Amino acid sequence: MSAVLPYLVRRIVLAVPVLLGVATLVFSLIHLVPGDPAQAMLGEGAAPQDIAELRSTLGLDRPLLTQYGVFLRRAVTGDLGVSFRTGQPVVTMIAERVPATAELAVAAMAVAIVIALPLGIVAAVWRGSAIDYGAMTFALAGISIPNFWLGPLLAILFSVELGWLPVSGRGTPAQLVLPAVSLGLALAAILARMTRASLLDELGELYVRAARARGVSRSAAVVGHALRNSLIPLVTIIALQFGAVLTGAVITETIFAWPGIGRLLIQSIGFRDYPMVQGCILLIAFTYVTVNLMTDVLYGVLDPRIRLE
């Protein structure tokens, strides 16, 4: 515990420049996007005087550096401003959407792990067999198929043609299936390949052969010995891919009308809702940094040889 606390403090301190860089980049890019939020709110036929008054009300007539300073001061206190589109606090609107995105992300990760671990294990154990080639072909296909193509394809097949699952919305387990599968298949393909490669390295180690020589069954040697030691690189990939899940959720939530952070982000970009866009991306960045921090701490649990210092 004495070694963990200083490590956590160092990681938190190092995360501050990352979040500051993300905030600066997002603020700069969103203000470079063509279009005027005041014009979008009032419509194309609005009078120039009305547009100027609204820009003044929203603070858009002030210099960018001044706007940036106000944004940072508010962000430090947890105030991300007010949505241009609804007039509600950004934090409140994001908090309402977080459960939906968290539900989708966890379901997608569960789909990926349930598919990837068995495929990777059987591919490693029966290396060079038809099972191995079939599993790796699936992995290659999963990596190659883009999310924006797979989602509509699943919707057409299972909702329009077969009528088995609803195509949009949230509230029932059936409505979660298609978004979770669409988002989780690509991650499953990556994890399956990593599971196979990591497990193959461990199966060639001397301690696995020694366990087999002591009379340990093949399945026990694979699951009880080799698989445990192969989990560390898998944990790394899962943590890193969690950020990809959040990014992919932007497309998936839009396709399936899932009321999460990703769909809110797309709607806010179209409306030039600067505070909401900044808030959504900051949340994604903060989540990514937090998951990486938790992953590093988990290393010490999985492998006592790793010293956090």
User: pLDDT tens across 63-78, in order?
Assistant: 878 888 888 888 888 7
**Would you tell me the crossing angle of helices 274-302 and 4-32 to the nearest 10 degrees?**
150
- Give a yes or no: residue 57 inside a domain: no
Distance of alpha carbon 156 from alpha carbon 162, whole angstroms: 8
- Give a yes or no: residue 289 inside a domain: yes
* Domains contained in the chain, number: 1
Domain that holds residue 218: 90-302
pLDDT above 80 for 249 = no
Output the pLDDT for position 205: 65
Q: Please write the tens of the pLDDT for every residue from 113-125.
A: 888 888 888 887 7
Output the pLDDT for position 221: 65
Output the pLDDT for position 113: 86
- Give a yes or no: residue 163 inside a domain: yes
Please state whether the predicted TM-score (pTM) of the whole model is above 0.95.
no
Distance of alpha carbon 293 from alpha carbon 228, whole angstroms: 21
Mean pLDDT of 208-224: 65
- Give a yes or no: residue 85 inside a domain: no
Whole-angstrom Cα Rg for the chain: 24
* Tokens found for residue 286: 């903060």
Q: Please write the tens of the pLDDT for every residue from 11-61.
A: 778 778 888 888 888 888 777 777 667 766 766 667 777 777 777 777 777
Distance of alpha carbon 196 from alpha carbon 179, whole angstroms: 26
- Give a yes or no: residue 120 inside a domain: yes
The CATH number of the domain holding residue 111 is 1.10.3720.10
Q: Please write the tens of the pLDDT for every residue from 143-175.
A: 777 777 888 888 888 888 888 888 877 878 888
- Give a yes or no: residue 6 inside a domain: no
- Give a yes or no: residue 31 inside a domain: no
Output the pLDDT for position 303: 57
Average pLDDT of the chain is 78
Distance of alpha carbon 281 from alpha carbon 65, whole angstroms: 20
- Give a yes or no: residue 9 inside a domain: no
Facing residues of 82 across strands?
Answer: 89
